[in-house]
Amino acid sequence: MENSSEFNTGSLFSLAMRWRWHLIAIIAISGLAATIFSSSAFIEPKFKSTAILYPVNIVPYSNESATEQLLQIFQSADVKAKIIAKFDLANHYGLAGDSKESNASLMLEYNDNVQISKTEYESVNIDILDKDPVKACAMVNALIDETNMKLRNLQRGKSQEMLKLYAGQLAIKKREIDSLESEISKLRTDNKLIDVAFQTREVTRAVINQKSGEAEIMAQNIQQKGAELTSLNLRLEAALHYYNKQKDAFDDITGDLQKELTYTNVVTKPFVAETKSYPIRWLIVLLSMVASLFLGFTVISLVESKKKNSRQSL
């Protein structure tokens, strides 16, 4: 089996030695070509700016984590549109136009250059590539600002809805309180009932001392209207407690609306890169040389195999 193997280690080494100058030339030419074609004259270099941040002040929906929700806001269509408009990326990328193809190409280019992902530590990583290192850094900061603004608007919209709901509940409860206070006031005035418990004790004392007359009238008023007055007072107390509780919630939401909350805690701030991140020339050159070496071996092996078959056929 070993003798019949054409491409064992020994034969490969022997083949490489026989064709070594050709292989060296192939590797050198491919390396030189890769060096030239990976230069800025052919591939526009890009610089990367990076930020790492954690979500704060975000109340997650359903089963989504705060990080997942923040990630969706970063990747939302309106945030992308604002970044594209703010930095005039259509012209910057050379893809200006109103056609569907132009818009699709613009979004593809944006998605290639703007990478946003969740890390294993539940943080969000932002990488932005651009031919202008200053613009790449500015885009990261703008993306964070626009996301904060969108989250603030979403939160304020939700707070406005809650504020309207609480305002309606407070108005209803205030009318109930006013109505109860009016009923209580009328009941007290018409029946001379100020403090049912105190007046009951006084009436009892007057009856015991055989002071009838006014005491009997008061006893009759207490008997007829005392329970009603007590019930109204209890209802008023409950209504006031509910009103004050709702008013506290209303005031908390009003205070939140006046706050300028941020929703991202940046732990790694973006900076202007001094060296390019794309293309990685040494990797391009290395892969080109390896590929050319493999291709060269393949071609040489085919040539050698053809020669061998020719000799055997003679």
200 SS3 class: helix
Find the CATH number of the domain harbouring 73: 3.30.1890.10
C-alpha torsion sign, points 121, 83, 272, 44? positive
Q: Region 80-109: what's the mean pLDDT?
A: 89
The pLDDT assigned to 198 comes to 44
Confidence band, pLDDT 50/70/90 cuts, at residue 3: very low
Higher pLDDT, 285 or 52: 52
E strands, 204-299, in order: 264-268
Could you report the per-residue pLDDT of 9-32, keeping only the tens digit for each? 667 677 777 777 877 888 888 878
What is the C-alpha to C-alpha distance for residues 27 and 285, in angstroms, rounded to an integer? 10
Report the C-alpha gap between 115 and 125 in whole angstroms: 8
In this prediction the pTM is 0.64
Let me know whether 190 and 292 are in one domain.
no
Q: Supply the pLDDT for residue 181.
A: 85
pLDDT band at residue 248 using 50, 70 and 90 as cut-offs: very high
Per-residue pLDDT of 72-92, as tens digits, reads 999 999 999 999 999 999 999
Domain coverage including residue 298: 18-157+262-313
Least confident of 44-48, 54-58, 163-167, 177-181: 44-48
- Residues 195, 143 contacting (CB under 8 angstroms): no
Same domain, 80 and 216: no
- Among residues 115, 119, 118, 145, which one has the least CA distance to residue 128? 115
Highest mean pLDDT among 76-85, 197-206, 257-266, 275-284: 76-85
| Same structural domain, 147 and 275 | yes
**Pairing verdict, β 124-130 and 114-118:** antiparallel
**Do 219 and 295 belong to one domain?**
no
pLDDT at 111: 93
Q: Are residues 298 and 281 in the same domain?
A: yes
Residue 265: beta bridge partners?
A: 54
The burial class, CB within 10 Å (0-12 / 13-18 / 19+), for 114 is buried
- Whether a cis peptide bond, with omega within 30° of 0, leads into 270 is no
Counting residues of the chain whose pLDDT is more than 90, the rounded percentage is: 34
CB 47 within 8 A of CB 276: yes
Domain total in the chain = 2
Question: Which of 257, 285, 304 marks a domain boundary?
Answer: 257
Q: What's the mean pLDDT when you consider all of the chain?
A: 80
Residues 124 and 247 grouped into a single domain: no
Name the pLDDT band for 240 (thresholds 50, 70, 90). very high
In a domain, residue 4? The reply is no
Contact 222, 203 (CB under 8 A): yes
Same-domain status, 221 and 233: yes
* Domain finish residue from 230, 257, 284: 257
Last residue of some domain: 257, 286, 301? Answer: 257
6 lies in a domain?
no
In this prediction, residue 195 carries a pLDDT of: 52
pLDDT confidence tier of residue 199, bands split at 50, 70 and 90: very low
Does residue 203 have a pLDDT over 50? Answer: no
Q: Are 143 and 167 contained in the same domain?
A: no
First to last CA, the chain: 25
Residue 10 lies in a domain: no
Lowest-pLDDT choice from 21-30, 67-76, 150-159, 300-309: 300-309
Nearest 5°: the CA angle 69, 153, 267 is 50
**Is residue 29, in this structure, part of any structural domain at all?**
yes
- DSSP conformation class of 88: T
Question: Does 208 lie in the same domain as 126?
Answer: no
Statement to judge: residues 150 and 269 lie in one domain: yes
Whether 105 and 151 map to the same domain: the answer is yes
Query: 231 and 91 in one domain?
Result: no
57 compared with 36, residue with greater pLDDT: 57
